[in-house]
Amino acid sequence: MIVKELTGDMQFAKNELEETQMIVTTPEKWDVITRKSSDMSLSVLVKLLIIDEIFGRAGRPQFDKSGEGIIITSHDKLAYYLRLLTSQLPIESQFISSLKDNLNAEVALGTVTNVKEACAWLGYTYLSIRMKKNPLAYGIGWDEVIADPSLSLRQRSLVTDAARSLDKAKMMRFDENSGNFYCTELGRIASHFYIQYSSVETYNEMLRRHMNDSEVIDMVAHSSEFENIVVRDEEQKELEELAQTSCPLEVKGGPSNKHGKVSILIQL
């Protein structure tokens, strides 16, 4: 069995993670992999798994008939953990935040070609199920639910808004009169190489007809895929040295900001 310890300053390559059977870490440091810090992040889910494991095995069957588990937490988190342990906190869909990327992927594949097909596709998702079960969590009022129990109009609105955004970003062409979608080369490239919609928006804003190599790399460094990159104080000296000795191109903004750090790493 391959066991690795994950610390706050350690970064694992993808192949290292795939070869590892067990990762020893704390829930907070787990965010180094998940790159999330919201209340519904994998870090919290890992905490919940650990809590369930501890409470489930609080007793020692071979020695005791019962056992006790104690959670020590801050008062503001007390209600949260109570809801988790009593299964009163449903897991909601986060699909809306990535709807544009997923719709673009379906259009690029050719499985969705118009608004009608997109609505049918959206109807098969967990988002559609949770919207009907808990509409208030998705900003849907009860009057809208009563008027449209299937929420087909809300689904159509989500699809239309996403399509308009993709059309504006030139990732696809959306004919609102016919409702048809037409994939563009940019959208196909973004889908094949997992480039996020927000990154394409950044490229559209920063891209100019005449750019040198340094400016192109700086543009790529502004991609949303790198938004969780941080620059630590202990890295400054090494980054400055790499920028001066190992980077053939100018590092825009210098190594003191995250875009500069990404630029340096790209050039190595």
Q: Render pLDDT for 90-136 as a digit per residue (tens, 0 to 9).
A: 778 989 999 999 999 999 999 999 999 999 999 999 999 999 999 99
Percent of the chain with pLDDT over 70: 73
pLDDT over threshold 80, residue 20? no
Same-domain check for residues 44 and 125: no
Do 22 and 55 fall within a single domain? yes
pTM above 0.85, yes or no: no
* Structural domain count, the chain: 3
Last residue within a domain, chosen from 50, 67, 85: 85
Mean pLDDT of 206-215: 93
**What pLDDT does 16 receive?**
67
What's the confidence (pLDDT) of residue 56?
Answer: 52
CA distance 239 to 223: 20
Assigned domain for 202 exists = no
Residue that terminates a domain, selected from 55, 85, 115? 85
Report in angstroms the alpha-carbon separations of 239 from 7, 242, 260, 265: 21, 5, 9, 9
Alpha helices per DSSP H over the chain? 14-19, 31-34, 42-56, 75-85, 99-109, 115-123, 126-133, 142-147, 152-168, 185-192, 197-206, 213-221, 236-245, 258-267
| pLDDT tens digits along 216-267 | 999 999 999 998 888 888 888 999 999 999 999 999 888 888 999 999 999 9
Residue 88 amino acid letter: Q
CA distance linking residue 48 with residue 87, whole number of Å: 11
**pLDDT computed for residue 104 by the predictor:** 97
Better-scored residue on pLDDT, 46 or 242: 242
- Residue of 111, 213, 204, 93 whose CA lies nearest to 195: 204
Q: Which of 223, 248, 251, 227 is nearest to 239 (CA)?
A: 251
Measured between alpha carbons, how far apart are the two ends of the chain, in Å? Answer: 33
Q: What is the pLDDT of residue 21?
A: 66
User: Is 203 domain-assigned?
Assistant: no
Give the structural domain span for 31. Answer: 3-85
Q: Per-residue confidence at 36, pLDDT binned at 50, 70, 90?
A: very low
pLDDT higher than 50, residue 37: no
Are residue 102 and residue 154 in the same domain, yes or no? yes
Same domain, 71 and 21: yes
Residue 48 banded pLDDT, cuts 50, 70, 90: low
Q: How many CA atoms lie within 13 A of 241 on its CB side?
A: 5
Q: From residue 200, give the alpha-carbon distance in Å to each of 206, 219, 230, 235.
A: 10, 10, 22, 29
Q: Which residue has the higher pLDDT, 180 or 53?
A: 180
CA dist 258 and 10 (Å) reads: 17
Same domain? 10 vs 47: yes
Q: Are 119 and 160 in contact (CB under 8 A)?
A: no
Would you say residue 200 lies in a domain? no
